[in-house]
Amino acid sequence: MVAEVSGGQNRLDQITRTIADGTGHDVCSIYLLRDPSTLELCASAGLNASAVHLTRLRVDEGLVGKVARRMAPLNTANAPQEPGFRFMPETGEEVFKSFLGVPLQRLGEPLGVLVIQSRESRLCSDDEVVMLEVVAMFLADMTELGAFVADNQAMAAPHTRSVEFNGGIGQEGLAEGHVLLHEPRVVLTNPVADDPEIEYGRLEDAIGKMRGHVDELAMMARRSANVEQREIVETYRMFANSRGWVDRIRDHIRGGLSAEAAVEMEQSNARARMAQVPDAYIRERLHDLDDLSNRLLRTLTGQGLGQRDNIPEDPILVARQLGPGELLEYGRGLKGVILEGGSIGSHVTIIARAMAIPLLIHVEGITTEALNGDQVFVDGERGVAYLRPGAEIADAFRNRISHRASQTESYKNIRNKPATTRDGETISLHMNAGVMTDLPNLESSGAEGVGLFRTELRFLAKPALPRRGELARQYSDVLDSAGGKPVVFRTLDIGSDKVLPYINREDEPNPALGWRAIRIGLERTGVLRMQAEALIRGAKGRPLTVMFPLVAEPNEFYRAREIFNEIVDSERKRGRPVPSELKMGAMLETPSLAFAHDEFFELTAFLSIGGNDLKQFFFAADRENERVRSRYDTLSLSYLGFIEHIVERCRSSGTRLSYCGETAGMPLEAICLSAIGLRMLSMRSASIGRVKHNLRRVSLEEVRVAIQAARADNAQSARQHVADALGPALYFNP
């Protein structure tokens, strides 16, 4: 029937008739989801033909709705007496007593319900239930493959529809491309097999490979102290070695399924069972089980294994979660990234920003809906992903892309002009960088230098500690590419969410407040010294500027500085060239440093406010936790007041001050920071044109007046007052 060339409806009708006859039941019906909450009777042998495509019910209605909602079979000898039964007169089903309904689903994604009924009141046997589930699995695959697509919308294959997903914006920008699934969904092409022995053998092979892989992961996890990583691997091991799991898969093979279909059947069942579990933590573990089943499916089908060789020309990466190292591995070829998870402050986001790749976060459900190669648009201005867009959306979207391109073109006209405000204040704009490929942006963006070079990105992209010589070469290349423009190298800033598996870490209840950044550097001095040597050698006698991350107390800064000075001395003694000038500064990322003694402000060559961390500690709101992060506005008057305090202290000690958190790249924020006295901002290169463009159109005095007015009005944030005061001066579009 699958192979026969006939219309979708014909095929469905034929199938219901065959199932009814084959099972000796009076009725077989197929209900498909018309939308996520409505089921439609799409074919029936035995019910009134006139009810087909007329009878609709909500997923919480009747016995059919119950099957769809619970994603579990419902088997009863007396349907009218079953709780939840709903009488639908148009179908003529009142005469049928026995009812067996099984969900049509693909990996927990509901597609519809398959029902058999008969006049006589009898309960179907377990074998019959299993048999109908196997049939349902075929139907689900066929539904997905579009076998029933006809004029009627309810029968459109789920993976051919145009779908819009809303999410959050990780990195602005518009992109058009084709889906590259980080972990591609496997499409089953041979659900049945004649010889179970062969299938058992295939399953054993695949399980052997999978267990080998899990053991490797476990070895790695043992070396890392990352609790989450260990937990995941432990769950992997638990499932991978579970006899019950394998036995259930073997049972499905015995029932006539191919090894891959059997794995998928068990995966679907497990999803349905676990979805009912009220404990959110256990439900979360479902993802781990999925990963494991997916690995098995990929081995069995060979799909997705060589996918790195099969990347579309304009790839948009779609993933549930992604680590910073993984994103770096994919590299700059990506046109965009869409994540189901993620957060604005996470490092994968920062890297996407550094690479100027449009990124959407919190796009729920996209990994289940998208297939490799699907066309997709990333709207990083509105936070929308358009999957398989229709012609109208495509036209409008392409118009916007060309509009933005002309806007970027217009920023080029001011590339070599200063960011001087209408009232004559000049703000120095620098860029944040972290990988070599960022450097060409120094020229194209018009940045005056690199205000923050995140050296850890190189470490994050590698499975082992990079060698000193290799780092020295990188630092030297960075200075070469900067062509004399200043570069501020930040020493290794790891810990918290930036985990290096080879640097052991204690289990920490609050990693953001834990063993990280300069704290690691001062305890693992070997790593800091190695990096200091690499930086000093990489400078090759040129001036060198370094800063230390997350300095909370002056002593930490003094000790780090001492290490650098010692290395300069020893290099000099060995007759090696040393930097013509070595400037050392600190990042101000903890409120404590803002209240450090005067001497510190005098001794540090400069300070750079790491607003991403400072803001999280100021508001006690985890930058990784979207739920609390966005509760607090950077333009809150308390935060601005705190920054003013820092500006004031630097002014009286004559300390150079800059701001290098992500907010420096947002026009309104950049304007307010400048208004309260910042004269140097460092941001991702893609923001420089827009920030400069806006700064050149405002008077900082007017902004200060607006901030004062907000204070006088007892406002919580200056945002509204400043935006109102600037009005048309804020000019985002050409």
Asked if residue 611 binds ligand PEP (CB under 6 A), the reply is yes
Q: How far is the CB of 242 from ligand PEP (least distance, A)?
A: 40
User: What is the C-alpha separation between 158 and 105, in angstroms, rounded?
Assistant: 11
Q: Where does this chain touch ligand PEP (CB under 6 A) — which range of 100-108, 166-174, 217-225, 608-616?
A: 608-616
Q: Which two tokens stand for residue 707?
A: 């901030």
Q: How far is the CB of 517 from Mg ion (least distance, A)?
A: 7
Q: Where does this chain touch ligand PEP (CB under 6 A) — which range of 5-13, 132-140, 164-172, 606-614?
A: 606-614
Query: Which of 46, 170, 383, 610 is the binder for Mg ion (CB under 5 A)?
Result: 610
Q: How far is the CB of 229 from Mg ion (least distance, A)?
A: 22
Asked if residue 589 binds ligand PEP (CB under 6 A), the reply is yes
User: What is the C-alpha separation between 79 and 572, in angstroms, rounded?
Assistant: 90
Interaction with ligand PEP in 337-366: which residues (CB under 6 A)?
350
Q: How far is the CB of 182 from ligand PEP (least distance, A)?
A: 23
Specify the residue, 8 or 324, whose C-beta has the smaller distance to ligand PEP: 324
Beta strands 419-420; 426-433: pairing state: antiparallel
- Residues that bind Mg ion (rule: CB under 5 A) add up to a total of 3
For 77, how many CA atoms within 13 A lie in the half-sphere containing its CB?
5
Question: CA of 72: how far to CAs of 98, 138, 269, 628, 729, in Å?
Answer: 17, 16, 8, 37, 60
Q: Is the dihedral of CA 531, 533, 534, 539 positive or negative?
A: positive
**Could you tell me if 613 and 589 are in contact, meaning their C-beta atoms sit under 8 angstroms apart?**
yes
Map residue 731 onto helix, strand or coil.
coil
Q: Where does this chain touch ligand PEP (CB under 6 A) — which range of 18-26, 220-228, 258-266, 610-618?
A: 610-618
Query: Which of 141, 144, 493, 702 is the binder for ligand PEP (CB under 6 A)?
Result: 493
Asked if residue 610 binds ligand PEP (CB under 6 A), the reply is yes
Specify the residue, 34 or 454, whose C-beta has the smaller distance to ligand PEP: 454
Decide which of ligand PEP, Mg ion, none touches 454; Cβ closer than 5 to 8 Å per partner kind: ligand PEP
Specify the residue, 200 or 642, whose C-beta has the smaller distance to ligand PEP: 642
Asked if residue 613 binds ligand PEP (CB under 6 A), the reply is yes
Specify the residue, 259 or 586, whose C-beta has the smaller distance to Mg ion: 586
Which residues on neighbouring strands pair with residue 495, listed in sequence order? 498
Specify the residue, 372 or 491, whose C-beta has the smaller distance to Mg ion: 491
Decide which of Mg ion, ligand PEP, none touches 379; Cβ closer than 5 to 8 Å per partner kind: none
Interaction with ligand PEP in 191-250: which residues (CB under 6 A)?
none
Largest CA distance in the chain: 100
- Residues that bind ligand PEP (rule: CB under 6 A) add up to a total of 11
Q: Which two tokens stand for residue 355?
A: 């690479």
Decide which of Mg ion, ligand PEP, none touches 611; Cβ closer than 5 to 8 Å per partner kind: ligand PEP
Specify the residue, 613 or 626, whose C-beta has the smaller distance to ligand PEP: 613
Query: Which of 174, 660, 675, 688 is the binder for ligand PEP (CB under 6 A)?
Result: 660
User: What is the C-alpha separation between 53 and 733, in angstroms, rounded?
Assistant: 49
Q: Which two tokens stand for residue 257?
A: 């399924």
Backbone φ, ψ for residue 219 (5° rounding): -60, -45
Q: How far is the CB of 401 from Mg ion (least distance, A)?
A: 33
Q: How far is the CB of 452 from ligand PEP (least distance, A)?
A: 6
Cα angle, residue 158 at apex, residues 152 and 162 outer, rounded to 5°: 85
Decide which of ligand PEP, Mg ion, none touches 32; Cβ closer than 5 to 8 Å per partner kind: none
Sheet holding 27-35, edge to edge: 56-58, 38-45, 27-35, 109-118, 98-106, 74-76
Q: How far is the CB of 464 from ligand PEP (least distance, A)?
A: 22
Specify the residue, 339 or 350, whose C-beta has the smaller distance to ligand PEP: 350
Between 452 and 471, how does the x/- string for binding to ligand PEP read (CB under 6 A)? x-x-----------------
Q: Which two tokens stand for residue 345?
A: 């402050």
Query: Which of 229, 612, 653, 717 is the binder for ligand PEP (CB under 6 A)?
Result: 612
Amino acid letter for position 53: H
User: What is the C-alpha separation between 187 and 571, in angstroms, rounded?
Assistant: 60
User: What is the C-alpha separation between 480 and 199, in angstroms, rounded?
Assistant: 59
Q: Which two tokens stand for residue 19?
A: 């199932």
Interaction with ligand PEP in 434-453: which residues (CB under 6 A)?
452
For the beta carbon of residue 417, count every other beta carbon within 10 angstroms.
Answer: 10
How far is C-alpha 567 from the chain's CA centre?
A: 41
Query: Which of 613, 622, 624, 669 is the binder for Mg ion (CB under 5 A)?
Result: 613
Amino acid letter for position 344: I
Q: How far is the CB of 443 from ligand PEP (least distance, A)?
A: 23
**Could you tell me if 622 and 630 are in contact, meaning their C-beta atoms sit under 8 angstroms apart?**
no
Asked if residue 661 binds ligand PEP (CB under 6 A), the reply is yes
Q: How far is the CB of 612 from Mg ion (least distance, A)?
A: 5
For the beta carbon of residue 275, count every other beta carbon within 10 angstroms.
Answer: 13
Beta strands 315-319; 174-181: pairing state: parallel
**Could you tell me if 320 and 340 are in contact, meaning their C-beta atoms sit under 8 angstroms apart?**
yes
Q: How far is the CB of 593 from ligand PEP (least distance, A)?
A: 13
Q: Where does this chain touch Mg ion (CB under 5 A) — which range of 340-348, 523-531, 532-540, 613-621?
A: 613-621
Decide which of ligand PEP, Mg ion, none touches 8; Cβ closer than 5 to 8 Å per partner kind: none
DSSP 78-129: -GGGSTT----GGGTGGG--EEEEEEEEETTEEEEEEEEEESS--PPPHHHH
User: What is the C-alpha separation between 312 and 245, in angstroms, rounded?
Assistant: 36
Between 557 and 596, how does the x/- string for binding to Mg ion read (CB under 5 A)? --------------------------------x-------
Q: Which residues bind ligand PEP (CB under 6 A)?
A: 350, 452, 454, 493, 589, 610-613, 660-661
Which residues form the interface with Mg ion (CB under 5 A)?
A: 589, 610, 613
